[in-house]
Structure 1
Amino acid sequence: MIVGALLSLVGVPLLVGGLALGWALMTQRDGDGFFTTPTEHISSPSVALTTRALDLGDLGPDDWWADRDVATVRLRVTSREPRPVFVGIGPSDAVAAYLRDAPYDEITDITDNDPFRYTLTRHGGDADSAPAPTRQGFWTAQASGGGSQELTWDLRPGTYTVVVMNADGTAGVDVDVVAGGRLALLTPLAAGLVLVGLALVAAGALLLVRGAGSASPGAPPARPGTRLTADETPPSGFEVSPVRVTGIQDAHLSRGLWLVKWVLVLPHLVILAALWLVFAVLTVVAFASILFTERYPRSIFDLNVGILRWSWRVAFYATSALGTDRYPPFSLTARDYPADLDVAYPERLSRRLVLVKSWLLALPHLIVLSVLSGTWGWTFGNDGARLSAGGLIGALTFAAGLLLLFTGRYPSSLFDLLIGLNRWTYRVIAYVALMTDQYPPFRLDQGPTEPGPGQIPGSFTPRPDADEAATEASLDADGDAQAAASAGH
């Protein structure tokens, strides 16, 4: 399971990167396959504008790309003055020797944020002009003439400098420049990233499914009732939710442990980050299966339920309830733990609903969840560290932590409310993830367990706090003792 999570954690970014690169290749290039910059205005009172020396390596046996058109650059230069313009690329040593007697400006720094800025560094001598560049024979590539001039060059090993100047070598360069680049390997690179990413995600999903289908050695069996199916018959007059979320509060909770629980669960969060990527990918697979077969593959379903169960245990422990000090297990299967979650497996799902329920039908719930859900923790910035809370669940959980810290008590009414809010959240997640066709109710089923037969859905039986429960138990014990004494007499 861990290997599968790691493979998926590597595969999903590769897949997303390959798809993003493919999208860029299809939409961001011009008709000749070049990625281009916006048109930028550059001017200098000197004889020429040059770039820094571009070191592309020395021609040798390791320069396999020397005789291949691996990369191509294109420069389009338009003079703002009514005179011909010249653009050329040549060996850096030859360019420096050619311009040593005339002043020229080297572009040393370019910032492409709005507005466009550049820095010029002056080199050369004091001559009024330079020999006409069109008469020099060292240029690797060149273009000159009136209007716009375009230079295209396939990169080769060596050290080169780009030069823009007037075609007659006189001072005063004022041009608009558009640069472009084309890499021949981008298309196979995008395809390779997609293929490798798909292979890793598929292998990771298979390992996760296999790991989820077999319990760990020595793992305790699932508790009765945790394996639900959609065809179970509920008690008369009572509607059983397909999503069952439970959370039993510890009788005694540490006052200050909650302050560091977010650190203690970091190993869980790393694994869950990978598992939720797998969850998203497998939900897409399940969508296709439901659309064509009306069935949610059971192995994928069990794995996704396990991811929800694992997430709920971590949230119950550290971020969304603070209901227990027992460290959550690293497991997708049902365990003897105060928090549990299960979803009834549907034998059939609607092909029509699968097209709209995740985004359209669930929209009212998603709006509610934008208020209910959130996380809290420490954020660090230039102005120091501060505590941030997100959503009603995060704020109430933080309030529960403060009550624990200063009073040592966690009111059962607040705990029951938090469980109800989390129960609502996970019901909506299961619906959006296509795991059920039963629309989530707009209600808070509060309390540690799901509403039972005879209860009104959305209500709960208030439970006394731990201190009150201990007092009542003591009174009951005294009453029993007195009754026994009376019977003895």
Structure 2
Amino acid sequence: MSSTNDPFGDVRFTTSPPTVQAPAPAGAAPSHPGGRNLAALIIGCLLILPGLGLLLGGAGLGITYAVARDSAGYLTFSMPDLSSSSPALTAEDAVVATSSDVPSWVLDRMEFDVRLTARPLEPGRRVFLGIAPAGSLSTYLSGVAHDQVVGISDPRSGGQRTAVLQATPGANRAPAPTSQTFWTAVATGPGQQQLTWRVTGGQWAAVIMNADGSSGVAVASSIGVRAGFLLPMAFIMLGLGFVVAGVAVALIIVGASGSRPSSYTRPPGSPTPVPSAAAGPGGPTAMTTAMTTATPMSMRAGVPVQAPPPTGEPVAWSSHPRAMSPVALDARLDEPLSRWLWLVKWFLAIPHFIVLGFLWMAFSVVSVVAFFAILFTGRYPRGLFAFNVGVLQWSWRVSYYCGNGGLGTDRYPPFSLGPEPDYPARLDIAYPERLSRGLVLVKWWLLAIPHYIILGLLLGGGGWAWGRTTNSGARIDTYGWSVLGLLVAIAGFSLLFTARYPRALFDLVIGLNRWVYRVVAYAALMTDVYPPFQLDEGGSEVPLAPPSPLPSQVAPPVPADRTEPPRQVDG
């Protein structure tokens, strides 16, 4: 293990070979929630998804109800052109089907209306629209050829939607539908026809035909629905969503925080911990240290630890210390920066992107191997750990140069899996001697869900907008965005026009990236220390502030008439 002079303001020891985590002092908070706290965290993670689903569903339903209805209160959905060489097009399962034991007042209270519109594509044709009991329509079309609409195709790469039809063979002509008496609702005539129907209980089906029952049906159609229950349902979903999400967030906070002691007391008589240098082969395990002249002692093997006082008295901690984490992410703003180079850095970094693509595939394979190693032995193989740390270090340097890492340097990143202490973007993850064999089964997917949700909002999101097509149909346009990408873009334009990188913006971007890499290390099984819900801004991972002196530790004032004799200095 070799020490390097830290340009960020302190001295750190790099991980070569990988460092080990310092043992937590007696009385310190556990590194991972346990017992009841772990149960609360798991329950909270299970509740957060349905809670968010209810919130988003209720909000979407309310917005749709408010802005997407036409003047008659209908939500209109355009259908692709329907064409059949048979006498009839049916929608036997697409209208409504309710069980016979559903009380009729349920549908009456819902106030659910259906509007079916059809326009013949061949001029001069008389079109017929009808809704009837499913059994009566089936009897009417028995022995008559007809096509049933069973779905609508949705091409992923553009193109037109088409109706998926299921053909039933039979006669090429049906008795004129206008002469039948079993219809519940009908509309017939030349040109566009519109049928409206208040839904009631039962099994119902719809049909589109030529008015004379002849073959060859071709129409442009749309379906509209109007439901009085949509707005109350939106409010109910929002209310339930707030309750479920609120309970979930409370459980997650309780489970993630655990029982954190407000002060740390060193047992009387216990030895004062002293950082040791790297031991040789067979010697004691070395601890990564970070020492400053302002802090008498600060041990850090991925976790910054303040030195306790020599007595058993409690320590007064600083009000907002940095989170204790085995993941150390440092960045130095490498000024002056070019005004325009950030516009082409992504192109210059293409060789890195190619190499990293293969490295991340190897990262995934190594993580799977490590999963089973931890599950059966409780240890992360050192060689595999060093490789995955190297991939993350390489990725962080490239990201800092040209991506969401911040554009904070113009120095081209080296092609290296090593720590590269001279580069202005560095990453270190303390090697854990032991890992929980039980947590490896749930931490990377279940316990990390709250962080995935937060980072999903920061690193990528989406939105939608309602629009209308030229034939009065509806469509949903989607778009994506990234909060972190937007912040980095703002920094880039600031460089372009002012040649300055706003310091506050730099601190925020690095803090967000620090959160990201803490979660990545946890999800990649490289630590059992749960990522803190804390945004540690700033480029440098610094030790915690020295403890504030307690009243009992403050020296009494020296009387004015008393002076200290000068000290003699030997040699």
Q: TM-score if structure 2 supplies the norm length?
A: 0.43
Higher relative contact order (CA 8 A, sep 6+): 2
Q: TM-score if structure 1 supplies the norm length?
A: 0.49
